[in-house]
Chains A and B, each alone.
Chain A
Amino acid sequence: MSRRSRSTIGRLPLVLLLPALLGLAFLLIPLVGLLAKAPWSTLPSRLFSTDVWDALRLSLLCATAATAMCMVLGIPLAWLLARAPIPGRGVIRALVTVPLVLPPVVGGVALLLVLGRRGLVGQHLDAWFGISLPFTTAGVIVAEAFVAMPFLVISVEGALRAADPRYEEAAATLGAGRWLTFRRVTLPSIAPGVVAGAVLCWARALGEFGATITFAGNFPGRTTTMPLAVYLALETDPDVAVVLSLVLLIVSVVVLASLRERWISGLR
């Protein structure tokens, strides 16, 4: 077995092998650089400074709230795309994935135009309920949810398509209505897809920068999440930027490890 795989590698064309190794190095060396440049001696004191701690706490809170929002809205949307006989489903699916490819800054601008104090919806929110989203923590959550929701929808829709709808029929013959069937049969059967989607969604929300800074601004303790803090720190105290980046790197690696290959099957 091992001899055969060694001989296979030996026969790999150099023209593929060389760029492949370069690509790998290109992806990994910046991360190694981050580790090499870390101010290890002063790391603990910097790590537990209130600025870092506030940013981390805010980031975790907002990413989690955004993920919850995405699940409440995104799972039913995925169900609609996968199961409901609606016309123009392909177009709707394409629209849902727009935030995936849209530059996040553009998303932030769009959110400002709609939810800003004079925006299409924002003016009514302000007038009727006294709610103003821009430049608040709630605004951070909205911005992150906007950018991250497609990850959840795509993953859950894939899981729904792979699930056998005949189990839902079996539930119906046992007397379960649509909602009960969804809760007790459909949702448990797609749980791995939902978990994978939620983790991806959460990771995307955690790293969100462009839409957040555009829509929610940069107010320490209120809207300054980790990525924003990294960007700020880079101009004032690069060592802090490195520490913050390390923390985000560790969180990312932990997320990746917890998913292993699962997210791939969740997306398919």
Chain B
Amino acid sequence: MKKVIAVLLAVAMLLVFAACNGSKTEKPPETPSTPGEASTDAPDATPADSTGDLADLKVGFIFLHDENSTYDLNFINAAKAAAAELGLSDEQIILKTNIPEGQECFDTAEDLVDAGCTVIFADSFGHEDFMIESAKAHPEVQYCHATGTKAHTEGLANYHNAFAAIYEGRYLAGIAAGMKLNEMIEAGQFSAEEAKIGYVGAYTYAEVMSGYTSFFLGARSVCPTATMEVTFTGSWYDETAEKEAANKLIADNCKLISQHADSMGAPTACELAGVPDVSYNGSTVDQCPNTFIVSSRIDWTPYFVYAIKAAVAGEAIDTDWTGTIASGSVVLTEINEKAAAAGTAEAIAEAKAKLEAGELHVYDITTFTKDGAQLDSYLADVDTDADFTPDTEVIKDGYFHESEMRSAPYFDIEIDGITLLDRNYG
């Protein structure tokens, strides 16, 4: 007993000593920890000099994983880019990585409030309920949750959702995939009927389903005989499972792979097998120089800049904010000329112009069928409820209106041409 106490006392003493030495520099963040409400008046009284407010602003970010996850890396980079654009110093942005989807998310949000943050972002779907809990406790702090679905029904003035019309980016990336398939068919590598795409998904969740469907429609718009097989890992981040899933698809004669899961599993498997890969969340060209074609991703910088500016100016942040190609939120990475088919850039540019002009709609009902028939009406589950009640008509003017009723995707139709090999489990 004595021994262990003694050891721990020794540790504690050393650390106290260390803390005393360093604590002078650490002082400022600790001051606002006690009352918290005292400073709330400041953002409301906002005259023209918003630069003054930016100077003492603090922004917190909560990430599910760290930079080893392509998904979180994309957010982390955007956070840093937004800080640079707004001229915020390193001390003004607090990045919390590896925050699980449980009470720890709530505790972390509270800790960020203690540290003086007035805007807090979180990047994972499962963080939502815990962000809402914290938002209820701190009406003076703005909570911005990416990928969530509840803001429009929760009725909290300081809780907001955001997403981007990433299905448009997926569609454009799909065009690159279709062009590659065409090139391989022309080179005699396989027949047009064998043009099968493999897709590694995380869950049978609308975000994933919307993603692979738009990708497939993009590919089929240039390679009409294309088909697709999808397998699910049941996890957003499981490197081994994603790699195995990609290998399974390759063994099943899939000629090209794409994925919606957040590790390097699928791209690495493709590089090893020499199968072309259309990536997600960012370029994987460094690790996969021979097989990486292009990647679509959401650039969160515009949203971060928008939300922070609005918070500082005391203006309301959109309850549901949907980024678009026009807002710079939906982007494609550099095309890897080594792997991509000739003319890919031009074909993408052409489709992109049409999408922006509203001449082309990704989910044009004439381009896909369900059970052999065209869909003229579809009720989607836009408002979250326990029974997944379909509540909103989303097919109007000849196309499915994705990401318009709320920011998070709700396209969950299993269209013809795509085979689901399993559901949620690999």
**Do A and B belong to a common assembly?**
no
Residues in B lying within 8 Å of A, measured CB to CB: none
